[in-house]
Amino acid sequence: PAFGPPMLSAVIATLGPSVDPLVVTSVISGWSDVSVYTVEEQRQLMLKGTVEMARKQIGLFTALLTFISAIIMALILYTLTLEKVHDIALLKLIGAPNRVILSMILQQALFLAMTGYGVAYLLGRKIFPNFPRRVILLDSDLFSLALIVIGISIASSILGIYKAVRVNPNEALSG
């Protein structure tokens, strides 16, 4: 044939109970183009190679999505706060303390977060069984995700809170 014999990728040897694995390893290691690995060493090669690269890629993708979600949520909350500047100024004019206004913005942020989490949870339960690969979500993962969503919502509301605190009560009279 024009291409030569096929390349050999791996040989698996099953040893009998009376065979010393160290002797077999030393004989096969003497060949110039062969490496010998135990089952545990093979496992570590896979974990450090292919699996580790995939884990890093998924981690980076998750971090980027989390960061982008936080930015989008912050912009939504800021826009919603801007739409309510007149109402916030009116509340301040009648003497409402800042904590009431802040709690309203936080409640709105938490409502958005829990609605998003609920939709994602329900869609995930419905869609994951149809994935070509098995997706395993542990309860601890779901709980951690809920905490992350709450943290993102609180952090995202800071921009809206900052705007609400700076609203002048006199703006209620101008609008």
Residue 128 is given by DSSP the state: G
| Burial bucket for residue 153 (CB in 10 Å: 0-12, 13-18, 19+) | buried
What's the predicted TM-score (pTM) here?
0.67
The amino acid that residue 173 corresponds to is L
Extended beta strands in 32-165, E state: none
Element (H, E) at 171: helix 171-174
* The pLDDT of residue 55: 83
17/15 Cα distance (integer angstroms): 7
Q: Is the pLDDT of residue 3 over 70?
A: no
Answer whether 172's CB lies under 8 Å from 92's CB.
yes
Q: What is the mean pLDDT of the chain?
A: 86
pLDDT in tens, 78-99: 999 999 888 899 998 898 898 9
Q: What is the pLDDT of residues 62-81, one digit of tens each?
A: 999 999 999 999 999 999 99
Alpha carbon distance 113, 160 (integer Å): 15
Q: Residue 44: its pLDDT value, please?
A: 83
